[in-house]
Structure 1
Amino acid sequence: MSSLSRNSRIDNIKGVLIFLVVFGHLIELHIAGAHVLHSVWLFIYSFHMPMFALVSGMFSKASLDEKQSNQLVKNVVIPLVVFEIFYEGLELLLKGNLSVYSGLFAPYWMLWYLLSLLSWRLLLPMFSRLQFPVMIALGVSLVASYSESTGYFLSISRTLSFFPFFLLGWKMGPGFFDGGKKRLAFVSVPVVAIAITASFLLRSDFDYRWLYGSYSLNRLGMANMTGTAYQIAQYLVSLTVGMACLHLLSLRNWGLAQIGQRSMYVFLWHGLALIVLQQTGMLNEIFKLDHALALVIAVIASAIIVWLASHPWCEAMTQKLLLKPMSWLFIKAQGVSMPTPPKTMDVKVSTLEP
């Protein structure tokens, strides 16, 4: 692993995290009454989105110049708009009406992350000037959770909930996991083991909505200091378990750097794959099987989706057919200026008249 660059190291981590996103979404609607699936889902959701926010922050800069602004529009705004139209159009085609998210004036399903990422990146230059940006963002999140104005609307609640992790990633920087310290595994391994065990021992009536970051304390029925204490405990658990997992992932080459580099395309397209599986009834058939067998098939199906969506041809076709055609609408064309002619010696050219 020492031969890998810091980007490769993080790309391997992103490859695992994006698999967990796909796998978590695939089993999400079928965890009720399935103890094994429910426990695995709880473990994944205890850390995977906070850590995705943290990794996104690692490669973000506090400045926002013209070049970085164009990259933000190209890599976040355009995919958000294009796939928002795509998925809402698909909902209209399949069901005859737009999704419930449109009524909430919220991004479609998993696209909330792109809108939140855009918000975090725009807020970063301001928060980077503060003395204690992470703690202030945490305080804002805890206070805002009492308001009914937050929630799915424009992904405000999730933006505020996961912003402290994004800022923490920015403070850590892209080289945080360089030269992964194997001696710390004696801490990380027990932490992960305890987290997995706790996920299996947790009561089945645990309110999983706490893990989404999209519900106010009023909606969760705990708009009091106890609810705030729960939130703080959740931040500590997510950070502890997440950092332990990322540390273990950084210790070796998992061969997933290529997938991590194209994790955006997995993120954008896995929703379509899951919709197809749901509409054809294949997903329901999978989870009618024995829970252990269903888990194995779900892992294989998720791996296939990740492999297909992260393939270079998928990137090329997505760029050619969807993203690049929209770039003219969002990215201002750069003016072309004539080069200044070099200074030359005075030469009589009267004899060179045409």
Structure 2
Amino acid sequence: MISVTPHSGPGSPRTADRSPFFDNAKFLLIVLVALGHSWEQLFSPHTHGLRALHNLVYGFHMPAFILLSGYFSRSFTGRPDQIRRLLTGVLAPYLIFETLYTLVYHWVRGAEFAITPTSPTYLLWFLIALFVWRLTTPIWNAVRHPVPIAVVISLAAGTTVIGEDLALPRVLMFLPWFVLGLRLRPEHFARLRTRAARRVAVPVFVAAFALAYRLSPAPSDDWLSMDVGHGVLHVSLMRYLLLRMALFAVSALLVASFLALVPGRRLWITALGAATLYPYLVHGILIRLAEHYGLVHAVRVSGFAGQLVFSGLAVAVVVLLSTPPARAVLRPLVEPRMPRRLVPAPPVGALPGVPTVAAEREKTLAR
């Protein structure tokens, strides 16, 4: 969350697969992201149901987001125009908001003011992960059996000690979802968008919530956020591998069920789903400000009613930040224009993959 899918979003390769279905899915997922981050502020020994709902959402919302990121990265080959979009649409906003989040954390939490671009703050790990994943796309498109290889890498990453630089644990552990997205085709999504699939999806979510409620407060956030290995989780290597494989299976079932329930027609949320980068980057700052000014504490002591109000506010913030007026105000930060000295524009009239007249002339002279 970057425009995770490249419909008119920055930093994403263009595609002809524009469909209300994908924009609807993106909007619903960014709402779940904001809700999940909001609910985390309210946990207490008395929020059993909220914790179960949080764990259910975390079981599939990031895998689904990453899978869609992979799906819309299929055409990435590393062409200069694609690299430019990656720099201006993913790396540039990451650096800007890494600075902003550092300022916010220094202000509201008294954290040391030290800008460390290689160590993402809070939710910004996804941007740097997307940057790395997309750069590796040509590799996954070149090798055989990329998904099993990515699964092995993911499991192996959890058996070793990996530093936090560039969010490397999450980059490696979430990798299979990105690679799986690269292998998907429109017909795979079409199979999920059937009445039979929707009928199965609802019982799946009901059963998953019942299981999450029974297990709550387990599993811990560390299992679901994929940022630590088995040593930190204090389980044996074999138990770790078995549980990770089980989580893969459960997440895959939930991702498929979620996609089956996503509306395929154009709705009022469809246009908002084309701008998920805006609410993703900004809502984390608003949560920290709400925490600093006592709103989170007031909600926490208000019980269930407060939880409903806070959840409604999270959804409203996502909607507001996705609207054209908000995007117009935030565009210099979210979609900055890079100086041409750093990222020169392609020659006028040049098309991706099509040599210019000057280039053809140089080839002729070289002969």
Equivalent residue for 2:311, pick from 289, 295, 299: 299
Matching of residue 64 in structure 1 with residue 43 in structure 2: no
Contact conserved, 2:52 with 2:216, CA < 8 A, in 1? Answer: no
CA distance in 1, matches of 2:339, 2:130: 19
CA distance in 1, matches of 2:271, 2:256: 22
Q: What are the residue-to-residue correspondences of 1:99-118 with 2, within 5 Å?
A: 102=116, 105-118=118-131
Shift of 1:70: 1.2
Shift of 1:98: 3.3
Kindly provide the amino acid, as one letter, of the partner of residue 312 in structure 1: P
Tell me which residue corresponds to 2:256: 243
Equivalent residue for 2:344, pick from 332, 342, 349: 332
Shift of 1:138: 0.6
Tell me which residue corresponds to 2:68: 55
CA distance in 1, matches of 2:340, 2:221: 42
CA distance in 1, matches of 2:325, 2:241: 47
TM-score by length of 2: 0.84
Shift of 1:89: 2.1
Shift of 1:147: 1.1
TM-score by length of 1: 0.86
Shift of 1:176: 3.7
Matching of residue 202 in structure 1 with residue 215 in structure 2: yes
Shift of 1:327: 4.6
Matching of residue 157 in structure 1 with residue 169 in structure 2: yes
Kindly provide the amino acid, as one letter, of the partner of residue 344 in structure 2: K
Contact conserved, 2:230 with 2:240, CA < 8 A, in 1? Answer: yes
Matching of residue 86 in structure 1 with residue 100 in structure 2: yes
Count of residues paired in the alignment: 332
Contact conserved, 1:106 with 1:154, CA < 8 A, in 2? Answer: yes
Contact conserved, 1:6 with 1:178, CA < 8 A, in 2? Answer: no
Q: Flag structure 1 segments of 5+ consecutive residues without an equivalent.
A: 341-354
Equivalent residue for 1:124, pick from 127, 133, 137: 137
Contact conserved, 2:202 with 2:257, CA < 8 A, in 1? Answer: yes
Shift of 1:331: 1.7
Tell me which residue corresponds to 2:112: 98
321 and 267 in structure 1: CA distance in 2 versus 1, 3 angstrom threshold: closer
Tell me which residue corresponds to 1:9: 21
| 1:196-215 C-alpha deviation (Å, 9 max, x unpaired) | 11111114353231001001
Structure label with greater radius of gyration:
1
Secondary structure at the residue paired with 1:284? helix
Tell me which residue corresponds to 2:291: 278
Matching of residue 213 in structure 1 with residue 226 in structure 2: yes
Matching of residue 233 in structure 1 with residue 246 in structure 2: yes
Among all aligned residue pairs of Structure 1 and Structure 2, give the percentage whose two residues are the same amino acid: 27
Matching of residue 311 in structure 1 with residue 323 in structure 2: yes
CA distance in 2, matches of 1:68, 1:255: 30
CA distance in 2, matches of 1:176, 1:261: 22
Kindly provide the amino acid, as one letter, of the partner of residue 182 in structure 2: W
Tell me which residue corresponds to 1:74: 88
Say which is worse superposed, 47-56 or 328-337, in terms of deviation.
Answer: 328-337
Tell me which residue corresponds to 1:350: none
Matching of residue 166 in structure 1 with residue 192 in structure 2: no
CA distance in 2, matches of 1:321, 1:217: 38
